[in-house]
Structure 1
Amino acid sequence: MPRPTRFTADQLLDAAVRLAVAHGPAGVTMSAVAKETGAPSGSVYHRFPNRTALLAEVWLRTVERFQDGYFAALTGADGPRPAARRAARHVVAWSRAHPEEAALLLHGPEVFGRAEWAEHHTHRAALGTERVHTAVASITTALGTTTPRDTERVSLALIDLPLSLVRRHLRAGAPLPDHAEELAEQCAEALLS
């Protein structure tokens, strides 16, 4: 009978998130993850063949977790404006609930070695990006607007402004204010009116 797994991939990736927040992506090494979890280095290499794969997985897992909730917020039978408001709120609410992961995402995938990722990792990243573009285009169309300027306005409302609000506080090491979700929603509504 095989031995139960002592250190799961998620435990190792959680340690990588903590290291990235504390020391930046450069602090995420195979040996640092092993030390952080108390796992033998072989356990880390068993799940991630090299540091590049580890960095890709920690980035992708984090962004995919964020995107799952974001896309859920964008769906609903109540129309595009409520969906847009929910999506803007989600950026802030998810960042409040997951401050370490939100801080990790502020670095961007390039700092996590995207240029070196294996094809299956770059494909996953491209799918996520395409989902975002498709969702923004769908909301833009549902709002009855179709010009490039309209698309920019929707992107600003749903992505850039809420992210800017989060970024300012996280980079300052300050908690998000209690009114941040409401402010993100109000800004989205104002831009979409």
Structure 2
Amino acid sequence: MARPPRYDEALLLDTAVRLAATAGPAAVTMSAVARAGGVPNGSLYHRFPQRLALMAELWLRTVERFQQGYLAALHSDPDPLRGGAAAARHVVAWSRAHPQEAAVLLHGPQSFGRDEWSTEYARRAETGNRRVLDAVTELAARAGAATEADLDRAVLALVELPLAVVRRHLRAGSPLPPHAEDLAERCATDLLDRQCG
């Protein structure tokens, strides 16, 4: 019977997230993760054969966790305005609850080697991004979007403006203000309401 692994992959990725959030993606080296996680280098290489695999898993696990909650919020109400408001709030609320993961996502996938990922990792990223874009497009259509400009407005409302609320504070090293969720929701609702009207 095989022995269970002594060092859990999730804990190694948690360590990598902390390093990336604190000192940026360049700080996530194999030796730094092993040292910070208190594991032998060999155990880390056993789970991630190279740094690029570690970086890809770090990004994908983080973005997939965010996307899961975002999609649930987007589909939480059949009314597109309320669903959109919930999604905009989720961007801020998730970032407030997970500041280190949010800091990782603000770096973008290219900072984690996206252009060199294997086909499997690239496919995972594309599948998640496509799922989110399809859901935003579907909600925008229910809100009355009929043109490319309408879809751009929906993406601005549901993705870019909530991220801007988060980005400004996290990059400054300041906590998100208590009104941040309300602000993201109000902006999203105002923009989407123009399509419904």
TM-score by length of 2: 0.95
Aligned to 1:109: 109
Asked if structure 1 preserves the Cα contact closer than 8 Å seen for 2:84 and 2:158, the reply is yes
Q: Does 1:26 align with 2:19?
A: no
> For residue 149 of structure 2, what is the aligned residue in structure 1?
149
Q: 2:88 matched to which residue of 1?
A: 88
Q: How many residues align?
A: 193
Q: In structure 2, how many angstroms separate the alpha carbons of the residues matched to 1:188 and 1:16?
A: 33
Equivalent pair of 2:76/2:86 in contact (CA under 8 Å) = no
Aligned to 1:188: 188
Unaligned runs of 5+ in 1: none
Identify which range, 1-10 or 167-176, moves more after superposition. Answer: 1-10
Tell me the CA shift for residue 108 of structure 1: 0.4
The residue aligned with 2:13 is 13
Counterpart Cα distance in 2 of 1:77 and 1:149: 24
Task: Give the match for residue 72 of structure 2.
Answer: 72
1:57 aligns with 2:61: no
How far residue 107 of structure 1 moved from its aligned partner, in angstroms, is: 0.5
Which residue pairs with 1:98 in the alignment? 98
Matches of 1:4 and 1:132, distance apart in 2: 36
Partners of 1:137 and 1:98 lie apart in 2 by 27
CA distance in 1, matches of 2:76, 2:65: 19
What is the CA deviation profile of residues 21-42 of structure 1, one whole-angstrom value per residue up to 9, with x for unaligned ones?
A: 1221111011111001101111
What do residues 23-79 of structure 1 show as CA deviations (whole Å, max 9, x unaligned)?
211110111110011011111111111000000000000000000000000113432
TM-score, normalising length from structure 1? Answer: 0.97
Amino acid at match of 2:24: G
For structure 2, the residue ranges without an aligned partner over 5 or more in a row are none
Q: Sequence identity, in percent?
A: 60
Q: Deviations over 1:6-34 (max 9, x none)?
A: 21111000000011112211110111110
Task: Single out whichever of 106-115 and 68-77 deviates more from structure 2.
Answer: 68-77
**Residue 121 (structure 1) aligns with:** 121
1:134 alignment counterpart: 134
